[in-house]
Amino acid sequence: MNSRKSTDHFSGSREELGFASRAIHRGLDWCEETGAVVPPVYLTSTFRRGNPGGFDYTRSGNPNFRNLEQTLADLEGARFSTVFSSGVAAITAVIASLKSGDVVLAEENIYGCTFRLFREVFEKFGVRIRYLDFTNALNFSRIVEERPVLVWIESPTNPLLKVIDIEQVALWSHRAGAALLVDNTFASSYLQQPLALGASLSLFSTTKYTGGHSDCLGGAVCTNWPVWQERLQFAQKALGLNPAPLDVWLVQRGLKTLAIRMRQHSENALALARYLRECPWVQHVYYPHLDSHPQFALATRQMKLGSGIIAAELRLSFEQTLQLLGSLRLFTLAESLGGVESLVCHPATMTHAAVPPDVRARVGISDTLVRFSVGIEDAEDLQADLETAARSVKQLQPGAVEQRVRSEY
C-alpha cells in the first residue's frame, strides 16, 4: 500500500474476511467508475498532472501497482508494500538503501543469486556481508556481536529447507538494533506471516507462489516501518526497479487462487516426500513437514502447512542424477519454483551455480542434491513419473543399489 489515497471498497477491518476472500477482494479500487470486475492493465508510461490518484509516471507508480500493493500488504498483515520487477530487484532495493560500512548478517544457505548480488555487487560498494548458520541457537549472540544494521534470513531456505526461528531471530535482531528481513518466497504469504513473528521486512519473489503460473516476474517487500517504506518507494523509482503493469496484473490474477493452490501444493508435496523417503535411490529427504526433519516442531508452529518444495540427496552418481532429472516427464528440468506445474532443478549447476564450490560444500549443496517444486497435478501421476524415471537410470535396476540406510531429514 503506498501513501496515495485509497478508494478500496473493502476498507473495513481485515479480521472480517479470511485469507482467500481478501486475496480475491482486496485492492479493487479501479472499478468505481466502470464497474469492471477485473481491472484493466494500465499500459501507460505517464499520467496527466494533477489527477486525483496522484499518479505521475509509471516508474514511480501505476494503478496496477497500487492494487497489488494493497492486496499484498493486507495478506502479509503489513501497513505497506512495494512491488518490484523481480525478487532480485526487491533484494536490490533493500540493500541499496544501506551505506558503505554497514554490516548485513545473513543466513549461510540463501538463494544463489542473493549470494551473488551480495558478493559481486554490494560488497564492491562497501556493504559488508557476514554469514551464519541461523538454525544453531548458540550462534544468536553473534547477532549482537557483529553489530549488523540488517539481518537477512530465508525460511525455509533455498535449497536445503532449513527452518529458522523467526521469532527468536527477531528478538535478537531488535536487541542488536538491527532490522530483520525474512525472504518469504519458499513459504508464501499464505503459509507464513513473518511480520506477525517480529520481522521488520517480508520480501518475496512474486514470480513464484504469489503469481503461481510461471508467466511473469515480480518481487515485493512488505513492512510496517514508514522509514523502510520511504526507502523502498524511493528505490522503486530512483533505481528503476519498477515492474511492468502487465506483469503486476498477472501476479494479481494469480494471487486470487494462492490459498487453494498452496493447500494442493502442500498435500502433493507431503505425499511425495513420504514416497521419496522409501526409495532406495534416495539418501535423504529434506521436507520440514516430515516428522523426521530436525525443525519439524518449529516448522509446524511457524507455518500453516508445508510448501511444495522438497530437496533430496540422491544415492546416485553425478551422472545418474543428471540422467534421472533428464528422464522425468511431468517434472520439467528448469529454474524457478512455485508454479502450478512441477519443476525439478539441480542446484549445484543451476540456481546455486554462482555460489563457489567450497561454500556449496560447506553448507551442504552437493552435486547429487536435487530440488523438486511439486505442482498441483495429480499426486499419483507425479509419483509414477518419478518411478518411471528411476527405472530408466542405467545400472539402477532393482538390487543394483544397496538398500539405503534410512537417514532422511
Ligand X SMILES: Cc1ncc(COP(=O)(O)O)c(C=O)c1O
Active site residues: 59, 111, 183, 208
- Edge to edge, the sheet with strand 282-286 lists 282-286, 309-314, 369-373, 343-345, 332-333
**Nearer of residues 102 and 154 to ligand X, judged by Cβ:** 154
**Nearer of residues 22 and 261 to ligand X, judged by Cβ:** 261
**Nearer of residues 94 and 197 to ligand X, judged by Cβ:** 94
Distance CA 250, CA 142 (A): 42
Q: How far is the CB of 94 from ligand X (least distance, A)?
A: 11
Q: How far is the CB of 367 from ligand X (least distance, A)?
A: 20
For residue 407, with 0-12 CB atoms within 10 Å meaning exposed, 13-18 middle and 19 or more buried, which class applies? Answer: exposed
Helix-, strand-, coil-residue percentages of the chain, each rounded to 5: 35, 15, 50
Amino acid in the structure at residue 400: A
Tell me which residue of 409, 160, 196 sits closest to 302, measured CA to CA: 196
Q: Residue 132: beta bridge partners?
A: 107
Distance CA 373, CA 207 (A): 13
Q: Which three cell numbers stand for residue 401?
A: 543399489
Distance CA 290, CA 115 (A): 28
Sign of CA dihedral 327, 330, 334, 336: negative
Q: How far is the CB of 4 from ligand X (least distance, A)?
A: 25
- Burial letters for 8-35: b for 16+ Cβ neighbours within 10 Å, e otherwise? bebeeeeeebebbebbbebbbbbeeeee
**Nearer of residues 103 and 334 to ligand X, judged by Cβ:** 334
**Nearer of residues 82 and 320 to ligand X, judged by Cβ:** 82
**Nearer of residues 335 and 358 to ligand X, judged by Cβ:** 335
**Nearer of residues 63 and 219 to ligand X, judged by Cβ:** 219
Distance CA 368, CA 320 (A): 9
Amino acid in the structure at residue 135: T
**Nearer of residues 61 and 156 to ligand X, judged by Cβ:** 156
Distance CA 162, CA 136 (A): 11
Q: How far is the CB of 185 from ligand X (least distance, A)?
A: 4
Residues that bind ligand X (CB under 6 A): 86-88, 111, 154, 158, 183, 185-186, 205, 207, 217, 219
Q: How far is the CB of 143 from ligand X (least distance, A)?
A: 21
Strand ranges for 78-148 from DSSP E: 80-84, 103-107, 128-132
Minimal CB distance residue for ligand X: 87
Distance CA 18, CA 168 (A): 27
Q: Which three cell numbers stand for residue 223?
A: 513492512
Could you tell me whether strands 128-132 and 150-154 are parallel, antiparallel, or unpaired per DSSP bridges?
A: unpaired
Q: How far is the CB of 88 from ligand X (least distance, A)?
A: 4
Tell the residue number behind the cell numbers 492486496, with chain if given.
Answer: 71
